[in-house]
């Protein structure tokens, strides 16, 4: 499906409907303000072109095709500067399904838990993981 193209000079909304609550344009505006950034700085830090970011904020371009990595990158950039925005909020504001944790996030969580266990429980966990691996290869 293609987007409706506005005629030059015509003002109109992008194709995506705002989700209940804050849409991506409002969330980006708030996050940029909280982070003390400019749109240009956010664009540079996330690898999004400035015109694209600006069109999301002005609601002249739809958000349904934004790559999940881009949404995560935006969250990381504004959070690093103090904005109180979660990855979940950004995905919801863009009208996108909220993904589960990435492989790296799961690995970090497992390692944090492992380090908190007493040594004998760490050994048990390693044995369990080895058994699970063997079973998954059958």
Residue-wise pLDDT for 94-129, tens only, equals 988 877 767 777 788 889 899 999 999 999 999 999
> Looking at the 3D structure of the chain, how many domains does it have?
2
Question: Domain containing 65: what range?
Answer: 24-93
Q: Which residues of 32-48 are buried (b: 16+ CB within 10 A; e: fewer)?
A: beebebebeebbebbeb
- pLDDT value of position 20: 52
- pLDDT value of position 1: 45
In a domain, 43, yes or no: yes
Q: How many CB atoms lie within 10 A of CB 92?
A: 19
In a domain, 98, yes or no: no
In a domain, 11, yes or no: no
Say whether both 84 and 113 belong to one domain. Answer: no
Say whether both 60 and 117 belong to one domain. Answer: no
For residues 77 and 15, what is the distance between their CA atoms, to the nearest angstrom? 26
Say whether both 87 and 34 belong to one domain. Answer: yes
- pLDDT value of position 13: 42
For residues 75 and 69, what is the distance between their CA atoms, to the nearest angstrom? 10
* 3-state SS assignment for residue 13: coil
For residues 49 and 35, what is the distance between their CA atoms, to the nearest angstrom? 19
Say whether both 31 and 68 belong to one domain. Answer: yes
- pLDDT value of position 2: 44
Structure confidence at residue 12 as a pLDDT band (50, 70, 90): very low
């Amino acid at each position: 499906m293609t987007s409706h193209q506005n005629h030059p000079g015509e003002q109109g909304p992008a194709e995506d409907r705002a989700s209940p609550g804050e849409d991506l344009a409002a969330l980006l505006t708030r996050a940029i303000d909280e982070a003390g950034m400019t749109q240009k700085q956010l664009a540079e830090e996330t690898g999004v072109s400035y015109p694209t970011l600006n069109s999301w904020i002005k609601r002249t371009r739809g958000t349904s095709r934004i790559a999940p990595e881009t949404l995560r990158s935006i969250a990381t950039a504004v959070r690093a500067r103090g904005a109180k925005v979660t990855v979940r909020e950004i995905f919801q504001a863009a009208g996108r399904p909220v993904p589960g944790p990435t492989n790296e996030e799961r690995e970090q969580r497992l390692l944090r838990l492992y380090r908190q266990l007493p040594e004998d429980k760490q050994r048990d966990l390693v044995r369990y993981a080895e058994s699970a691996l063997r079973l998954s290869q059958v």
